[in-house]
Structure 1
């Protein structure tokens, strides 16, 4: 597996400070490096602070993660606003996002050079991913079954309401009881 980045090896308070500053985006890299040296002089003196390029790479990685979180949050908000969630659309969106992330991770693992990932580690990661994919797939199947059930129930309620309205209207228009029953059967029969 690839070694940890120099940022990941930092003291927690330094790493947290870098993350906070990068997520706010108010400082240039040069200003951030200067602030790190002022704020953490002992680490600077010991040569423990990361280089400008390491902070830049870490910032890009952090920005991708933050963008993904923002996109997921926005998607959940949109789903909540525009979809009554009786069909559990948020879970469906979440499952789709997880499937996409797992696919990307597996592709990255497959593309990793042989020097960066030990074959045993690669096998362990793929095994773990396969187990998680199976769980995710089961979840997806159960969600689809739930959605089909909810759709069928909603369709049945709508047909029942349509049959009741048709029955009332037909009786008011003088249709015989046998005619009303045939009309009801015709409407409800379309449910099958």
Structure 2
């Protein structure tokens, strides 16, 4: 991978401040740069503060990550609030969140292919290692997703069988009066798929 961005190489206090300001979305890039110069004059004098374009690129990466985290968090909250877990809906949500993270990893991999601030391209060996790791994780996630779908299908089938048994028992317990004949019961059984 190429060099770390100039933001990642900053003093942790400055980096955290930049992240907080970008996450709040309350200032423009020019305002943020001016604020950094005012808040960290020693770093500004030593030319240790990042350029406007570096802050802009970092802000875009941070925004993509924040959007993915927000979406995953909201999905998890909705599922937890509305889904019973008889079909393992939480695992399905977790799988979706992991897929989001893998998507983020692929974005990072694409960014690794870009030319860094120092003009160097990412090391091809590191790129291959990242691709290999991503492929392994995708394969694991795919197996997990398939297993989850098989489990959900089994739960659906068991639920259907249980419902049919309950309907069969209620139908058998129904008296033959009030116009309900054996033929009517047979027609109901046929319509519901009760054998």
Tell me which interval the TM-score lies in, with the shorter structure as reference length. 0.7 to 0.9
Normalising by structure 1, what TM-score? 0.78
Match in the other structure for 1:42: 42
CA deviation profile, 1:111-154 (whole Å, cap 9, x unmatched): 93696232321221122122212211221122112111211221
Q: Which has the higher contact order (CA 8 A, sep 6+)?
A: 2
**Is 1:134 aligned with 2:139?**
yes
Alignment length (residue pairs): 186
Aligned residue in 1 for 2:32 = 32
Name structure 2 gaps, 5 residues minimum.
none
Alignment of 1:73-152 (within 5 A): 73-99=73-99, 102=102, 105-106=105-106, 109=109, 112=113, 116-152=121-157
User: Retained in 1: the 8 A contact 2:29–2:55?
Assistant: yes
The residue that corresponds to 1:67 in the other structure is: 67
Separation in 1, partners of 2:62, 2:56: 10
Deviates more, 1:108-117 or 1:128-137: 108-117
Task: Point out where structure 1 has 5 or more consecutive residues left out of the alignment.
Answer: none
| Cα distance change, pair 172–77 in 1 and its aligned pair in 2 (3 A) | farther
User: In the alignment, which residue of structure 1 is the partner of 2:169?
Assistant: 164
SS in 1 for 2:8: coil
| TM-score calculated relative to the size of structure 2 | 0.77
Over aligned residues, Cα RMSD in angstroms?
3.2
Q: Matches of 1:77 and 1:113 in 2, distance apart?
A: 36
**Over residues 142-177 of structure 1, what are the superposed CA-to-partner deviations in whole Å (9 max), with x where a residue is unaligned?**
21121112112211221122112111114667999x
Which residue of 1 is the match for residue 6 of structure 2? 6
Flag the 1:38–1:110 CA change in 2: closer, same or farther, 3 A.
closer
Q: Would you say the 8 A contact 1:155–1:191 is kept in 2? A: no
Q: Does the 8 Å CA contact 2:72/2:100 hold for their aligned counterparts?
A: no
